[in-house]
C-alpha cells in the first residue's frame, strides 16, 4: 500500500480515519477546560486484533478495558461491532503496513495541528487511547513521531515503566496503578512523576500523596508533579465483568482507603 492523500488512504484501507479530535466525551473536555484540541488514536486493545498493543496489561484491565465503554459499549449492547471491527483493521494496518500507517497518521496530525492554530487552540496528541504502544520505536524515514513533531506535546497513560527510560522531552507520561504495582508507583512519584488510580470515590489524599480529580479533563500535560490522578470507574458493557472488576484490586474502594 502506498500513501498519497488522506482521501485515497480511506478508500484503500476501508477506514474513515486513523485518529481524530473530540472523539470521546473526555477529550472534548480538553477543548472546554484547557483550550486544547487533542488528537487521539483508538486501537483494538491488548491482543484482540492478533497483535498485542498492551505489553504490560493485567487480567483486570483487560477485563474492564474502556474499549467496551462509550459508543463501542453501546454498540456491543445492541449486538453491533462496527467500532470494534474498525479498531481491529486499524491495528492490523499499523503492524502490517507500517509506512502507509505512519504517513497517514502524520498527515492527520499536521491537519489537526493546523486547525488548532487557525481556530486559536493549543494542540496535543495522545496516540494510545486504548493501547500502550511504545511510539519511540515506531519510525518513519529514520525518525519517530516525537522527532517529526518536536513542537507538539504528546501524552499517554502507561503501565510500562520502560517508557521512562530515555523519554522524549515532548512526551508526558502518567503511570497506571494496577492494584499490584505500588512499588513502581511510589518510586515514580518520588521522582516527580504522576500516577493514576481508579477509585469508586476518590479521596483528597492516598498513601500520603495528593489526589486530583482526573475526570475534569484528560489533559494531563498541565498537572502538578508528584501527585495521584484519581479517575472514577467508568461503566462497561459487560455487567458481569464490571462486577468482577469492582471487587478486584484494580479499583480502590472507598472502604479500603487508609490515608
Domain coverage including residue 102: 6-161+168-256
Structural element, H or E, at residue 75: helix 70-77
Is the Cβ–Cβ distance between 136 and 130 less than 8 Å? no
Name the average pLDDT for the chain: 90
What's the rounded Cα separation, in Å, for the pair 215 and 224? 15
Which pLDDT value is given to residue 245?
77
If 0-12 CB within 10 Å is exposed, 13-18 middle and 19+ buried, where does residue 142 land? exposed
**Residue 186: φ, ψ to 5°:** -65, -45
Q: Classify residue 17 by its DSSP letter.
A: -
Region of residue 196 (phi > 0: left; psi between -120 and 50: alpha; otherwise: beta): beta
Find the radius of gyration of the CA atoms of the chain: 18
SS3 state at 144: strand
Task: Report pLDDT for 239.
Answer: 77
Residue 40 CA to residue 42 CA, distance in Å, equals 7
SS3 143: strand
Three-class SS state of 141:
coil
Residue 1 placed within a domain: no
Q: Give the contacts of 96 (CB within 8 A, at least 6 positions apart).
A: none
Task: pLDDT band for 79, please (50, 70, 90 cuts).
Answer: low
Q: pLDDT tens digits for 42-61?
A: 999 999 999 999 999 988 88
Entry pTM: 0.90
Q: Is residue 33 part of a domain?
A: yes
Average pLDDT over residues 67-74: 52
Q: Dihedral, CA atoms, 143, 144, 150, 155, nearest 10 degrees? A: 180
Percent of the chain with pLDDT over 70: 90
- pLDDT digits over 228-248, tens only? 999 988 776 677 777 777 777
Q: What's the number of domains the chain is made of?
A: 1
Cell of 34: 484547557
Q: Domain for residue 65, yes or no?
A: yes
Amino acid at each position: 500500500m502506498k500513501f498519497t492523500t488522506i482521501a485515497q488512504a480511506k478508500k484503500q484501507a476501508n477506514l474513515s480515519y486513523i485518529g481524530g479530535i473530540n472523539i470521546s466525551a473526555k477529550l472534548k473536555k480538553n477543548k472546554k477546560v484547557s483550550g486544547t484540541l487533542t488528537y487521539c488514536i483508538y486501537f483494538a486493545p491488548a491482543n484482540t486484533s492478533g497483535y498485542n498493543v498492551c505489553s504490560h496489561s493485567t487480567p483486570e484491565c483487560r477485563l474492564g478495558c474502556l474499549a467496551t465503554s462509550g459508543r463501542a459499549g453501546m454498540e456491543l449492547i445492541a449486538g453491533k461491532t462496527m467500532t470494534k471491527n474498525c479498531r481491529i483493521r486499524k491495528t492490523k494496518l499499523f503492524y502490517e503496513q507500517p509506512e502507509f500507517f505512519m504517513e497517514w497518521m502524520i498527515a492527520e496530525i499536521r491537519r489537526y495541528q493546523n486547525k488548532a492554530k487557525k481556530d486559536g487552540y493549543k494542540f496535543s496528541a495522545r496516540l494510545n487511547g486504548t493501547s500502550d504502544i511504545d511510539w519511540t520505536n515506531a519510525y518513519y524515514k529514520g525518525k519517530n513521531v516525537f522527532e517529526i513533531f518536536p513542537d507538539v506535546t504528546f501524552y499517554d497513560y502507561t503501565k510500562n515503566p520502560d517508557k521512562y527510560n530515555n523519554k522524549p522531552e515532548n512526551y508526558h507520561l502518567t503511570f497506571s496503578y494496577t492494584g499490584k504495582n505500588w512499588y513502581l508507583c511510589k518510586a515514580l512519584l518520588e521522582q516527580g512523576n504522576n500516577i493514576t488510580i481508579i477509585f469508586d470515590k476518590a479521596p483528597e489524599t492516598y498513601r500520603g500523596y495528593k489526589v486530583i480529580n482526573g475526570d475534569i479533563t484528560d489533559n494531563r500535560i498541565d498537572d502538578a508533579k508528584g501527585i495521584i490522578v484519581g479517575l472514577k470507574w467508568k461503566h462497561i458493557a459487560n455487567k458481569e465483568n464490571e462486577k468482577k472488576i469492582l471487587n478486584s484490586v484494580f479499583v480502590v474502594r472507598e472502604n479500603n482507603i487508609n490515608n
